[in-house]
Amino acid sequence: MNLPLIGQEVPLPKIKEICEHYRLVELWQKIERDPPQRPFKSDGCTGWVDAWKGISIYSAGFLHDLKYWAGYPGEDVSRLIADAELMIDVARLLNSTGMAETMFAGVRVGGNEKLNTPFSWGFGRR
């Protein structure tokens, strides 16, 4: 599936299509039930590279951004799962764990909602 480009606003029908393609049923149900007020845009692998050794990891970053955008304050377990899924997605794409583990450590620190950054957990709801 061709994902929207970095910085491109993604309308809800396209988000639904992406969720269906990646089998993110619960995520779509959450978004459909209560869409975040801010429009969704991905910045790829926030503050990191979107490709490593010629292999794109953009899809992993995009899906991680989507999960963070839809998050609610205080959903610590959901955030941990999103971060673990990012790590697994990157490991699968690269067929390696080093970069995946590094990215996991980075998002655990940098994505904390208390930092209130434009990419923190729940950024679509602030």
Q: How confident is residue 35, by pLDDT bands cut at 50, 70 and 90?
A: very high
pLDDT the model gives residue 115: 94
Q: How many CB atoms lie within 10 A of CB 59?
A: 17
What average pLDDT is seen over the chain? 97
Q: Residue 58's pLDDT is what?
A: 98
**Residues 44, 62: contact at Cβ < 8 Å?**
yes
How much of the chain exceeds pLDDT 70, in percent? 100
According to the model, what pLDDT value does residue 66 have? 98
Q: What is the pLDDT of residue 31?
A: 98
Strands (E) across 8-123 are located at: 51-52, 55-56
> b/e for 78-94, b at 16 or more Cβ within 10 A?
bbeebbebbbebbbebb
What do you get for the CA distance between the two ends of the chain, in Å?
Answer: 29
The pLDDT of residue 13:
98
Q: Please state, in angstroms and as integers, the Cα–Cα distance from residue 114 to each residue in 66, 88, 110, following that order.
A: 19, 25, 10
- What is the pLDDT at residue 2? 95
Give me the mean pLDDT over the 24-53 stretch: 96
